[in-house]
Amino acid sequence: MLQPARENEGVWRLSVWCFGVDAGVQFSRCENPIFPLIPSMAQDGGESRDWAEMPSDALSGVFGKLNASDILTGAGLVCRVWRQLATNDPTLWRRVDMSCQADLVENMKAKYAMARIAVNRAAGTMEAFSAEYFVTDDLLLYISTRASSLKSLHLIYCPYISIKGIAEAMKGFTQLEELTLYLSSFHGYVSEAIGRAGQQLICFRLNNAFGYYNCPVDDTEAFWIANNMPELRELQLIGNRLSNDGLIAILDHCLRLESLDVSRCYNVQMDDVLKSKCARIRDLMLPRDQDVFIDSDPSDEGYSYDTDAMYDSEY
């Protein structure tokens, strides 16, 4: 098992102990004989407390304030009662964010397993899913076949997803309203792969990571968006190769558009025609405006304990 950094030793010990409880190891209810991390209240002259007997409504309230990663790697492992709540309450899994786990869970297999577990526990009620790097075509298809109610999909730098994988998965996302693909590089046109799902999209963000001066013009993606995403309120095309013609097509056909970001789209030249058409856009980012970067959460502490084997049996 990976050893924790000193500042994260408490979290690591607690997780090991929680996993032991869930596996059936018998510990005292009022103290932890192996890792005395949380001192008993009795030791301080107070009354000891059995956390498994916390009122269900209070416990549900606590769990409701946690994200999926917190539940999967901590709270959902504290004891059988807490695990039962984490397993049997689909409302806890309506919005799953696994986009800041690079340090928390290093093994891709563990992340993959945790994502499948979250989808299963949502029992068809999942509305939003966010992840970074580890998502594959197979996992995306797994989500689409079991979470047709999904309205928001947010993927950051997922190099294991292909155009074909997106096309297959989108067939199952019949209620999708928001699609975000950050730091992506695909061999093909993402907008075309989205297919009919584009008809109901309200928000579409596509960040190609890089934009180059003097790159060849390609309006294919822009024209497809213009003709197939009529409901768009927000559009982000970072580093795209569209030209003025492509942008004008979008502005002429996406009449509900309120927010537009074409940062690093250097083939776009803001002339009087474009300025006039963009006047109705409430939030506008132009090609040479400040670049947009995707950073990890600065509040992440970089937990280094091992969660790779915790969920092998549930997916």
pLDDT at position 260? 98
Exposure b/e, 44-76, CB count within 10 A at least 16 = b: eeeeeeeeeebeeeebeeebeeeebbebbbbbb
Same domain for 79 and 118?
Answer: no
- In the chain, the percentage of residues whose pLDDT exceeds 90 is 47
Tokens at 255, concatenated: 């009449």
Say if 269 falls within a structural domain. Answer: yes
User: Where does the pLDDT of residue 70 fall: very low under 50, low under 70, confident under 90, or very high at 90 and above?
Assistant: confident
Say if 290 falls within a structural domain. Answer: no
Determine if residue 302 is left, alpha or beta; phi over 0 gives left, psi from -120 to 50 gives alpha, anything else beta.
left
Dist. CA 281–CA 275, nearest whole Å: 10
Q: Based on the structure, what is the number of domains in the chain?
A: 2
Say if 291 falls within a structural domain. Answer: no
Same domain for 118 and 206?
Answer: yes
Say if 303 falls within a structural domain. Answer: no
Please indicate, yes or no, whether the overall pTM of this predicted structure exceeds 0.85. Answer: no
Say if 152 falls within a structural domain. Answer: yes
Same domain for 273 and 172?
Answer: yes
Which comes out higher in pLDDT, residue 234 or 157? 234
Same domain for 182 and 236?
Answer: yes
Range of 182's domain?
95-285+308-315
Same domain for 15 and 82?
Answer: yes
Contact 127, 152 (CB under 8 A): yes
Same domain for 103 and 81?
Answer: no
What's the mean pLDDT in 6-13?
Answer: 40
Say if 301 falls within a structural domain. Answer: no
pLDDT tens digits, residue range 22-35?
Answer: 344 443 333 333 23
pLDDT at position 91? 82
pLDDT tens digits, residue range 279-302?
Answer: 999 999 998 875 544 443 434 443
User: Where does the pLDDT of residue 14 fall: very low under 50, low under 70, confident under 90, or very high at 90 and above?
Assistant: very low
Last residue of a domain, one of 63, 88, 113: 88
Same domain for 25 and 145?
Answer: no
Exposure b/e, 250-277, CB count within 10 A at least 16 = b: bbebbeebebbbbbbbbbbeeeeebeee
Contact 97, 67 (CB under 8 A): yes
Say if 296 falls within a structural domain. Answer: no
User: Where does the pLDDT of residue 54 fall: very low under 50, low under 70, confident under 90, or very high at 90 and above?
Assistant: low
Last residue of a domain, one of 72, 88, 104: 88
Which comes out higher in pLDDT, residue 27 or 75? 75
CATH code of 221's domain: 3.80.10.10
Q: Kindly list the strands in the beta sheet with 203-207, ordered across the sheet, starting from the edge strand earlier in the chain.
A: 95-98, 128-132, 152-156, 178-182, 203-207, 234-238, 259-261, 283-285
Tokens at 267, concatenated: 């083939």
Same domain for 68 and 37?
Answer: yes
Contact 15, 305 (CB under 8 A): yes
Closest CA to 293 of 224, 216, 238, 217: 238
Last residue of a domain, one of 52, 72, 88: 88
Same domain for 252 and 276?
Answer: yes
User: Where does the pLDDT of residue 39 fall: very low under 50, low under 70, confident under 90, or very high at 90 and above?
Assistant: very low
Average pLDDT of the chain?
76
Same domain for 118 and 208?
Answer: yes
Expressed in percent and rounded to 5, the helix, strand and coil fractions of the chain are: 40, 10, 50
- For residue 298, the one-letter residue type is P
Same domain for 229 and 140?
Answer: yes
Which comes out higher in pLDDT, residue 77 or 251? 251
Lowest mean pLDDT among 59-73, 111-125, 243-257: 59-73
Same domain for 84 and 115?
Answer: no
Say if 150 falls within a structural domain. Answer: yes
Q: Is residue 144 classed exposed, middle or buried when 0-12, 13-18 and 19+ CB atoms within 10 A define those classes?
A: buried
